[in-house]
């Protein structure tokens, strides 16, 4: 395991983005470029390209007290993973996070973004251990990230991890509080979607425990309430912020899931069509197209 990780870390040093230009600006006004490769309490480590072809890269240490600012350059590897965060990239995302982790609290660093992408990939797993790892990761970003929007995103990630771990009531209560307090449209929409997920999770449990729910009036009433609340929250981005494409498409996809749970295949098909027509460039368009190919319309 250690040997495999060593190979991954070594490979990361040779990735196309490994020598993308970061710039360290010193207190005396001078600058130095390279790839910021590590840090501890006292120093930053800067990897610089080899002076001659065939030679290994060099790493220099720079006292943190001498640094006024770090300007982090584009990271092609992080951008690639961010655009397609699939479970097959778990190990690669872990390596990127480990490279940037020491800079989580450093202003302008992309460390929180790397951590968030890795956490989202961990949540794609069916393994509760991965979900616990994601929860701890989001909690750390929430506490230490330098940028408030990153901390807010980590809060939403933490609540998603809690849902994955079955902590539905706890996540739902906190999400409802966030929805009431938020004046940030993005946070509001993400919270609405999270609340929709909590209702869908509760609906799934209800149906599993009550396979003949339609014959039990109290259970049927609970089913209808959960379904209606799930749909209200899932469709909120689409109805009120339709130009927020990813969030609107995600809400429609959650509505699709809720409809299928309640055996409303025609309604599920309609929202899947909406995704493919209105939001064809979003990450939920491909699953929606696949669903439409599998789901036959009601006769």
- What was the pLDDT predicted at 42? 92
3-state SS, residue 142: helix
Please give the DSSP secondary-structure letter assigned to residue 18. G
Average pLDDT rounded to a whole number, residues 190-199 = 89
Find the helix packing angle between 148-164 and 168-181, rounded to 10°.
150
Average pLDDT rounded to a whole number, residues 103-131 = 94
- What was the pLDDT predicted at 176? 83
Phi, psi (deg, nearest 5) at residue 61: -105, 145
Query: Does 85 or 49 have the greater pLDDT score?
Result: 85
Specify the range with the lowest mean pLDDT, choosing from 2-6, 45-49, 291-295.
2-6
- What was the pLDDT predicted at 180? 82
- pLDDT band at residue 10, thresholds of 50, 70 and 90? very low
Q: Which of 278, 268, 225 is nearest to 247 (CA)?
A: 278
| Cα→Cα distances 241→194, 228, 259, Å | 16, 20, 22
Has domain 170-299 been given CATH number 1.10.10? no
- Residue 20 in this model has a pLDDT that exceeds 60: no
Specify the CATH number for 21-72; select among 1.20.5, 3.20.20, 2.30.30, 2.10.270.
2.30.30
- pLDDT band at residue 189, thresholds of 50, 70 and 90? confident
User: For the chain, which residues make up each domain, given as ranges?
Assistant: 21-72, 74-165, 170-299
CB atoms within 10 A of CB 205: 13
Average pLDDT for the chain: 88
């Amino acid at each position: 395991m250690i040997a495999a990780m060593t190979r991954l870390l070594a490979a990361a040093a040779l990735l196309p983005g490994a020598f993308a230009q970061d710039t360290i600006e010193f207190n005396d006004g001078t600058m130095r470029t390279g790839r910021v490769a590590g840090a501890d309490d006292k120093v930053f480590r800067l990897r610089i390209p080899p002076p001659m072809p065939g030679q290994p890269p060099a790493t220099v240490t720079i006292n943190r007290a001498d640094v006024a600012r770090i300007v982090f350059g584009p990271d092609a590897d992080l951008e690639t993973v961010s655009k397609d965060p699939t479970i097959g990239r778990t190990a690669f995302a872990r390596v990127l996070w480990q490279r940037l982790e020491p800079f989580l609290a450093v202003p302008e660093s992309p460390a929180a973004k790397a951590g968030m992408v890795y956490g989202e990939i961990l949540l794609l797993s069916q393994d509760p251990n991965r979900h616990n790892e994601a929860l701890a990761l989001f909690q750390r970003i929430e506490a230490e990230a330098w940028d408030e929007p990153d901390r807010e995103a980590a809060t939403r990630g933490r609540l998603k991890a809690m849902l994955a771990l079955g902590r539905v009531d706890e996540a739902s209560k906190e999400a409802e509080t966030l929805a009431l307090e938020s004046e940030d449209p993005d946070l509001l929409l993400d919270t609405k979607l999270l609340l929709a997920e909590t209702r869908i999770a509760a609906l799934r449990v209800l149906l599993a425990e009550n396979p003949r729910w339609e014959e039990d009036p109290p259970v049927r009433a609970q089913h209808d309430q959960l379904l209606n609340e799930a749909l209200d929250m899932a469709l909120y981005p689409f109805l009120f912020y339709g130009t927020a494409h990813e969030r609107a498409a995600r809400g429609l996809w959650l509505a699709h899931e809720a409809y299928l749970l309640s055996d409303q295949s025609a309604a599920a098909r309609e929202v899947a069509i909406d995704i493919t027509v209105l939001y064809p460039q979003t990450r939920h368009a491909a699953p929606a197209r696949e669903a439409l190919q599998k789901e036959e319309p009601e006769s």
